[in-house]
Amino acid sequence: MLKQKTVMKEKEIAYTKIDRDLDKLGPTICSISALNNVKLERGSYVKIGKDNKQYYIGQIIDGPYYVEDESARFEITFTVDLNAEIRNGIQRAVLDRPEPHTPVYSLNENLIQEFLGAKGSMTIGRLLTQEMVKIQIDSSTLTRHMGIFGTTGTGKSNTIQTMMEEAAKVGIAVLTFDVEGEYVLMNEPTDKLVDLLGKFGYKPEGIKNFSIYTPNPCVSRREDAIKFGVSFKDSDKILFSEVAGLSKIEQLFFFDLIERIKAVAPAFRSVTLEAIIERLKGRLSAQADNPTMPPYIAEAHTSLYSKLMAIHNLNMVDVKANTIKAEDILVSGKVSVIDFSDAGNQLKNIAVANILEKIFSYKMVNINSPKVLIVLEEAHGFVSKDKSQEMLGTINFLLEIARRGRKRGVCLGIVTQQPAFLPSELLELCNIRIMHRLSSTTNIDALQQSTGNVPNSMWKILPSLGLGQSIIASPRYTRSIIGQIRPVASKRIEQQYLFEPIENE
């Protein structure tokens, strides 16, 4: 129910016009004429009607158009989409249209926020058009998955970091797979865009409960980063064989070797990668002495050996370093960053698959453990459509997390420049979408086909959005919102500072 008392003194800004160009109108569209010296912008919300017991809420979707007028020099007209009719505080469908010459007012900030449903404990920015209106989301919304999209340099990382800060503040655990090492200083306050941050009512502030991890063989710019390894026995073998790039036949021999070692190993000894490699080595040297395997099987064994050795040589599996425990990550309000800035693709994939698996299994049993926001940046590199054949198990696993995780308080935050390259099922599971500037029609089409609630006219502005500006769509919002995301309060190492400048190549 929209509260009457939030309607305060109102200044008339326009009035509705007589319907002329009927072809351009529709049942929820009307034309307004702005009063002298009033500046209006597309995207702004307006109240049409003087009576607080019965009025319309509309959004300006087109204009200004300067039309010749007999009395004045020109008239400034706009098109308004009627979003709702309010009667006695109750929102109704638009079944009527306002009469000509009905006064139009700016909608006050509380009413806009209430109307949009943009209320909650996490504040991520403000409306682009009516800056006093905060864009908030409710922490319960974060049981749905989130997609953050945009071309390079449009503000995706800033947005996801803002989300991480807000999530931590309301007691959600945050886990970030940091491919560039951008988030490793989030425990420090930011020193950039401080004035702008102040305009959003925020002060620079680091995250208090913060941990950095890095894979065992990698170097992090944070000396205190905790090195971690992966234990083979805990790994899902299908995911493992995919990440290792095993062909179907290599996978068969890999599973066969595991079974044979299990059969002879005492129950208390777990199967290690090294044990598999040793056994494989035995088969290969027997073959060299006395070839009994047909050539294609021998070849599969040789290539399996080199692929498993490549993983072994990563110095990550079954190493001395501790493994990450779900209990370390699932701490209310804690932000854990896995620094992958020095890690190759294979290393990243092994670590991500392993950690996700642990968290997911833990969450299935410990239902009351804190909610977790898991940030997967540049997700298209981890699971992209063109890899979907060879990465089927990994994609299915992620989809399982996405589907089943929702009820268990696992929220994925997927950040990518290329939404069109995400497997479509995964894209469809991103209910909350923050869309920054995008220009490629392939990417815009992919989003448009799978996002509800965004009127056609809004898609047209996507290619022209500025830094940090975005279209935000959420099932909790009555309508999609054009917003300005706030700058981060904690420190981020921006891409350009991550690499030494190259001089005179």
The residues of the shown chain that bind ligand ATP, judged by CB under 6 A, are 150, 152-158, 193, 196, 417, 467-468, 485, 487, 494-495
User: Nearer Cβ to Mg ion, position 44 or 176?
Assistant: 176
Q: Give the nearest residue (CB) to Mg ion.
A: 157
* Calpha distance 142→157 (Å, rounded): 18
Among 189, 196, 187, CA closest to 225: 187
User: Nearer Cβ to ligand ATP, position 369 or 443?
Assistant: 443
Cα 393 to Cα 56, 309, 359, 396, distances in angstroms: 51, 22, 17, 5
Does position 157 interact with Mg ion (CB under 5 A)? The reply is: yes
Length of the chain as a residue count: 505
With CB under 5 to 8 Å by kind, the binding choice for 193 among ligand ATP, Mg ion, none is: ligand ATP
User: Nearer Cβ to ligand ATP, position 94 or 467?
Assistant: 467
With CB under 5 to 8 Å by kind, the binding choice for 147 among Mg ion, ligand ATP, none is: none
Residue span 103-142 as binding mask against Mg ion, x where in contact by CB under 5 A, dash where not:
----------------------------------------
Buried/exposed 395-433: b ≥16 CB within 10 Å, e otherwise? bbbbbebbeebbebbbbbbbbbbbbbbbbeebbebbbbb
- Residue 85's contacts (CB-CB under 8 Å, 6 or more residues apart) are 54, 55, 56, 57, 91, 92, 93, 94, 95, 96
Write down the least CB distance from residue 356 to Mg ion, Å. 21
Write down the least CB distance from residue 449 to ligand ATP, Å. 22
With CB under 5 to 8 Å by kind, the binding choice for 487 among Mg ion, ligand ATP, none is: ligand ATP
User: Nearer Cβ to ligand ATP, position 190 or 451?
Assistant: 190
- How far, in whole angstroms, is CA 408 from its chain's centroid? 18
Which two three-digit tokens encode residue 339? 């620094």
Residue 463: phi and psi, rounded to 5, are -70, -10
Strand partners, 213: 226, 338
User: Nearer Cβ to ligand ATP, position 186 or 350?
Assistant: 186
Write down the least CB distance from residue 152 to ligand ATP, Å. 3
Which two three-digit tokens encode residue 246? 């095993």
User: Nearer Cβ to ligand ATP, position 13 or 412?
Assistant: 412
Cβ–Cβ under 8 Å, residues 490 and 127 = no
User: Nearer Cβ to ligand ATP, position 98 or 150?
Assistant: 150
Which two three-digit tokens encode residue 311? 């993983």
Which two three-digit tokens encode residue 201? 């009512």
With CB under 5 to 8 Å by kind, the binding choice for 152 among ligand ATP, Mg ion, none is: ligand ATP
User: Nearer Cβ to ligand ATP, position 153 or 171?
Assistant: 153
Cβ–Cβ under 8 Å, residues 178 and 340 = yes
Supply the DSSP symbol for 229.
B
Q: Which stretch binds Mg ion (CB under 5 A): 150-158, 352-360, 399-407, 423-431?
A: 150-158
Write down the least CB distance from residue 151 to ligand ATP, Å. 7
With CB under 5 to 8 Å by kind, the binding choice for 153 among ligand ATP, Mg ion, none is: ligand ATP
* Calpha distance 423→412 (Å, rounded): 14
Q: Which stretch binds Mg ion (CB under 5 A): 64-72, 153-161, 330-338, 347-355?
A: 153-161
* Calpha distance 416→434 (Å, rounded): 11
Which two three-digit tokens encode residue 94? 């638009």
Among 131, 34, 13, CA closest to 79: 34
Q: Give the nearest residue (CB) to ligand ATP.
A: 468
With CB under 5 to 8 Å by kind, the binding choice for 352 among ligand ATP, Mg ion, none is: none
Write down the least CB distance from residue 200 to Mg ion, Å. 20
With CB under 5 to 8 Å by kind, the binding choice for 405 among ligand ATP, Mg ion, none is: none
Write down the least CB distance from residue 123 to ligand ATP, Å. 13
Write down the least CB distance from residue 192 to ligand ATP, Å. 6
Write down the least CB distance from residue 464 to ligand ATP, Å. 16
User: Nearer Cβ to ligand ATP, position 85 or 178?
Assistant: 178
With CB under 5 to 8 Å by kind, the binding choice for 211 among Mg ion, ligand ATP, none is: none
User: Nearer Cβ to Mg ion, position 156 or 408?
Assistant: 156
Q: Which residue has the tokens 């790994």?
A: 235
* Calpha distance 47→494 (Å, rounded): 42
Write down the least CB distance from residue 157 to Mg ion, Å. 3
* Calpha distance 163→166 (Å, rounded): 5
How many other CB atoms sit within 10 Å of the CB of residue 48? 24
- Residue 457: HSE in the Cβ half-sphere, 13 Å Cα cutoff: 14
Q: Contact positions toward Mg ion, by CB under 5 A?
A: 156-157
